[in-house]
């Protein structure tokens, strides 16, 4: 079934066929014209796979915003725009200007858009408007992967990677420098105000009631800069207060544990909890929601911590998220919950044994995710976690496990030393980590184009969605040749 037929069927179902009109989109006709993409591209090309797969998906959320809009010229068909974005992200073309250029010169892109070619602004606006709707498509593609037998739930591996945000290091300022800058700017504002009053008095004497009292541009610019800096200071202060509250809770939990076990706390007494930001704490003016994170090659950059939960059978991503936290300790439970939500929405049941009893889903995570709270949360949600409790060094013999492990850390370490635990955890490095390599190296997605944490989550969902589509396409080609 063609895209056009699917779009007409949806409009007829919603009663909008005679009301709302869209620009014509006939991909089947484009394929058979002279010098058409179908005559030049291989039969099993990715673009033809998408043209066959997309009609199987539900596009209601993409059509809904246009159903009652009657102003202006007919918009591009949302199904065509979605197919265009999916193909562009699959082949590593992310910028809207490059996508628009490819619609003029690339045969595969022409197979999608035909003669109706959107400009870069239309592509950019459509992506921003429908980021949330792509989450529905993500779930539907996971359902297709389940139907194709690509999801087994034998080993679900969770990992994260730092992806640079659309924010410059040169547009950041430390808290200590902010205080000095605000003081300096206020002094300049006061001097400008004094000079303005003196000028007003001189002009009043010379001009009378005629104009000549406009606010100087230098004064307006400095006042706006003070407002931006003070807003950044308030953000850092709120963050410092939240961190102080978390530290108090951690100390209270530690003290309660010491009282319960009768152990005395070692070391010097802790320093008082600081509620004010450190002078070195920084905030970025381009994207205030991002924080500076340590990267492997470039030192420190403003990044988003992109998370993914990956099935071990064919590297299908089951859940994804982006967080502003640089470490992964708090991400195990949210990713596990998101994975269960995706499985439920995709109609996928948990594995069972021969007697029909529901089995826990094996989950492997590196030591960056380990905490007692993370282990308890995963087990409560129905996972069987295998988490490294410490960084494993190569060619160093492991310490002997205690005969009777008592703590959660000792039990998890002992669990990882079993033959089953070693086999499962050894698979982690060939499940989640290669996925990030395929996304960042093969497709070249190394930087977010959008700003704001919610927009980053939507863009990362689009990247993970197209990763799953590529897996469907490639494994489908393999199965057809077997």
Q: Identify the residue whose tokens are 């403003």.
A: 302
User: Of 244, 259, 284, at which residue does a domain stop?
Assistant: 284
Q: Identify the residue whose tokens are 């105000």.
A: 193
pLDDT at 18: 40
Structure tokens at 251: 């100390």
Is residue 203 located within the same domain as residue 101? no
Higher pLDDT, 413 or 466: 466
d(CA 291, CA 428): 28
Q: 3-class DSSP state for residue 300?
A: strand
**Residue pair 351/359 in contact by the 8 Å Cβ criterion:** yes
At residue 5 the predicted structure's pLDDT band, cuts being 50, 70 and 90, is: very low
pLDDT at 133: 93
User: What sign has the CA pseudo-torsion 51, 55, 60, 63?
Assistant: positive
Question: For the chain, what is the mean pLDDT?
Answer: 82
Residue 50 included in any domain: yes
Question: pLDDT tens digit string along 56-75?
Answer: 888 888 888 887 777 777 78
Question: pLDDT tens digit string along 437-467?
Answer: 999 999 999 999 999 999 999 999 999 999 9
d(CA 180, CA 410): 50
Q: Identify the residue whose tokens are 């459509």.
A: 126
Q: Closest Cα to residue 381, out of 346, 344, 434, 356?
A: 344
Averaged over 9-21, what is the pLDDT? 46
Counting residues of the chain whose pLDDT is more than 90, the rounded percentage is 37
Higher pLDDT, 196 or 97: 97
DSSP state of 297: S
**Residue pair 409/388 in contact by the 8 Å Cβ criterion:** no
Say whether pLDDT at 20 is over 70.
no
Say whether pLDDT at 150 is over 90.
yes
Is residue 380 located within the same domain as residue 402? yes
pLDDT at 204: 63
Burial of 439 (0-12, 13-18, 19+ CB in 10 A): buried
User: Of 130, 156, 181, at which residue does a domain stop?
Assistant: 130
pLDDT at 50: 93
Say whether pLDDT at 482 is over 50.
no
Burial 175-191 (b: 16+ CB within 10 A, else e): beebeebeeebeeebee
Averaged over 40-58, what is the pLDDT? 88
Residue 135 included in any domain: no
Say whether pLDDT at 396 is over 80.
no
Is residue 209 located within the same domain as residue 267? yes
Averaged over 180-197, what is the pLDDT? 78
Question: pLDDT tens digit string along 367-389?
Answer: 989 988 899 999 999 999 999 88
Question: pLDDT tens digit string along 214-271?
Answer: 556 777 777 777 787 778 777 777 877 777 787 788 778 777 777 777 777 777 777 7
Q: Closest Cα to residue 118, out of 96, 133, 137, 134?
A: 96
Say whether pLDDT at 201 is over 80.
no
Helix axes 332-345, 372-380, angle to 10 degrees: 20
Which residue(s) pair with 283 in the sheet? 173
Structure tokens at 122: 């239309």
**According to DSSP H, which parts of 152-295 are helical?**
175-207, 217-261
Is residue 253 located within the same domain as residue 346? no
Structure tokens at 461: 């969902």
Q: Closest Cα to residue 338, out of 363, 325, 320?
A: 320
Q: How many CB atoms lie within 10 A of CB 379?
A: 14
Is residue 176 located within the same domain as residue 56? no
Is residue 190 located within the same domain as residue 212? yes
d(CA 467, CA 306): 14
Is residue 272 located within the same domain as residue 389? no
Q: Which domain, by its residues, includes 156?
A: 143-167+289-481
């Amino acid at each position: 079934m063609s895209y056009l037929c699917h779009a007409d069927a949806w409009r007829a179902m919603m009663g909008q066929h005679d009301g709302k009109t869209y620009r014509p989109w006939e991909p089947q006709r484009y394929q058979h014209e002279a010098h058409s993409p179908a005559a030049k591209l291989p039969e099993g090309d990715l673009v033809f796979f998408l043209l066959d797969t997309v009609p199987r998906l539900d596009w209601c959320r993409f059509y809904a915003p246009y159903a009652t809009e009657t102003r202006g010229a007919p918009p591009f068909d949302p199904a065509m725009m979605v197919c265009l974005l999916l193909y562009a992200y699959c082949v590593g073309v992310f910028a809207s200007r490059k996508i628009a250029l490819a619609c003029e010169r690339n045969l595969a892109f022409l197979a999608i858009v035909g003669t109706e070619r959107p400009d870069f602004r239309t592509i950019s606006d459509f992506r921003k408007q429908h980021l949330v709707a792509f989450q529905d498509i993500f779930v539907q593609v996971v359902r297709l992967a389940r139907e194709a037998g690509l999801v087994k739930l034998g080993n679900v591996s969770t990992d994260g990677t730092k992806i640079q945000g659309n924010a410059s290091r040169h547009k950041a300022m430390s808290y200590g420098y902010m205080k000095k800058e605000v003081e300096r700017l206020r002094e300049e504002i006061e001097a400008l105000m004094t000079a303005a009053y003196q000028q007003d008095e001189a002009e009043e004497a010379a001009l009378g009631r005629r104009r000549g009292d406009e606010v100087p541009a230098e004064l307006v610019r400095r006042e706006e800069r003070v407002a931006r800096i003070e807003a950044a200071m308030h953000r850092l202060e709120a963050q410092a207060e939240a961190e102080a509250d978390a530290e108090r809770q951690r100390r209270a939990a530690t003290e309660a544990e010491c009282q319960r076990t009768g152990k005395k706390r070692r070391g010097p007494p802790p320093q008082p909890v600081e509620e004010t930001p450190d002078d070195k704490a920084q905030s970025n003016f381009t994207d205030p929601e991002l924080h500076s994170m340590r990267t492997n090659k470039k030192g420190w950059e403003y990044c988003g911590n992109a998370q993914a939960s990956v099935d071990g059978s064919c590297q299908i991503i089951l859940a994804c998220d982006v967080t502003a936290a640089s470490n992964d300790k708090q991400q195990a439970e949210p990713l596990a919950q998101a994975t269960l939500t995706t499985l439920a929405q995709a109609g996928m049941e948990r594995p069972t044994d021969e007697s029909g009893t529901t089995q826990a889903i094996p989950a492997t995570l590196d030591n960056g995710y380990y905490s007692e709270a993370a282990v308890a949360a995963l087990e409560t949600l129905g996972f069987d976690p295998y988490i490294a409790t410490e960084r494993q060094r190569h060619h160093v013999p492991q310490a002997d496990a205690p005969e009777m492990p008592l703590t959660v850390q000792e039990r998890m370490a002992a669990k990882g030393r079993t033959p089953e635990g070693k086999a499962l955890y050894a698979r982690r490095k060939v499940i989640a980590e290669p996925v990030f390599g395929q996304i960042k190296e093969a497709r070249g997605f190394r930087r977010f184009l959008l700003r704001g944490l919610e927009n980053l989550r939507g863009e990362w969902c689009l990247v993970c969605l197209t990763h799953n589509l590529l897996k469907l396409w490639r494994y489908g080609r393999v199965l057809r040749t077997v």
